[in-house]
Structure 1
């Protein structure tokens, strides 16, 4: 196997989802449309969950309160940018500064809230884990679907680019989201009070996922990056 072929088919630290896998799902019409439909359905399910448990949250704060649906919405928009280049390599996907912001936001929201659910549910695992009908959804189902967020985020690396401005903007929005969640009490519904540990871990995640994005993403050409 040549070095080029090995790079395309072998996952790495910077590309945990191989290029070949990303191409097989994202470059072809049927699989991409299926992903878009699945994302739209997941968004509606997520919104229904938050609406059912929603306190008196201002409409303007819904994107910051409904964390997982926001991640799915950003991911759906990111995937939709691939439609004009169907059946072409992901390297043919257009790149510009607005798209860099979109792909970076989708990536960090997916990684953060994919991992946040694993942390939050396992913080008091005794309240969630089990093998009855309720636990199959409330623990195994939710964790399983949210780990798919992470896989999707890693696929974005094969067509998305980032800039310093996009990274800084993403960090600012993530920290604002943390303030809304824990400063104003609009965090995702849990079966226990988050107290201090969960907020601290959430802020650490915000910083960590942006640092990860800075390392994993390719950048736009340096002239565009400096313009930020």
Structure 2
């Protein structure tokens, strides 16, 4: 049976929707509008402070580590800090199209790091909680927050990550740096036993899943982002 003439076109449309899942007008409204962009920055900042508070009161805590290790230990706060910086780069672009935001190699690195950290720790949290649902699923106030509250808030990481390729670009160097930083973070987490606090000991299964996520999210970033062209002044893509 021959392939439908519309088959390749339909596949291209499906892939395009995966790369850019939201209508561009929605992204323009929320990220190109000063009020909504400001609120997003406030929410990101508040979530970052909440995450820092969690790691301050965890065991081990930020108090037990050198300040140089904070970005590696506080995985979700690091993702939120990078996301906040990424979104803040749109402030000078207000009044213009989000998709035409300026781009350079430094911004490409920032947007790439924000994207991979958000995607990785949005997914990692869901996986880690559901590896031992017997320890997290319940109906006490503490368990309701520690499962549903944390799960839902971290899934919002994925929504924010999805809008970054609308205004950001990447480079081969940024992708390589992102992979190195993620694997360094994994070595810190599991080599030193300083992975995010859980109700159970992370074993080889979770460590292997985490490393696989590091590789997968960089591959996803390479596919989702347009490439920055050296010497271009704007957001041109290859």
Q: Give the TM-score normalised by the residue count of structure 2.
A: 0.87
1:218 to 195, 220, 226: 226
1:30-49 → structure 2 map (5 Å cutoff)? 30-49=35-54
Q: Select between 56-65 and 70-79 the one with higher mean Cα deviation.
A: 56-65
Q: Is 1:66 aligned to residue 74 of structure 2?
A: yes
Q: Which residue of 2 aligns with 1:5?
A: none
What secondary structure does 1:76 align onto? helix
Note the C-alpha offset of 1:222: 5.9
* Residue 131 (structure 1) aligns with: 139
Larger Rg belongs to: 2
Residue 85 of structure 1: how far off its partner (Å)? 1.0
Segments of structure 1 that go 5 or more residues without pairing to the other structure are 1-10
Instruction: Give yes or no for the alignment of 1:105 onto 2:105.
Output: no
What is the match of residue 6 of structure 2? none
The more displaced of 176-185 and 52-61 is 52-61
Following the alignment from structure 2 to structure 1, what is the Cα–Cα distance between the partners of residues 163 and 143?
A: 29
Q: Deviations over 1:166-202 (max 9, x none)?
A: 0000000000000000001110000001111000000
Distance in 1, Cα, partners of 2:59 & 2:109: 29
1:221 is displaced (CA, Å) by 1.5
**Corresponding pairs, count:** 216
Aligned equivalent of 2:32: 27
CA RMSD of aligned residues (A): 1.7
Work out whether residues 12 and 18 of structure 1, in 8 Å CA contact, stay in contact via their aligned partners in 2: no
Could you say which residue in structure 2 is the equivalent of 1:142?
Answer: 150
User: SS in structure 2 opposite 1:13?
Assistant: helix
Q: Which residue of 2 aligns with 1:6?
A: none
Partner of residue 203, structure 1:
211
Structure 2: tracts of 5 or more residues without a match:
1-15, 233-238
Q: Could you tell me which residue of structure 1 aligns to residue 173 of structure 2?
A: 165
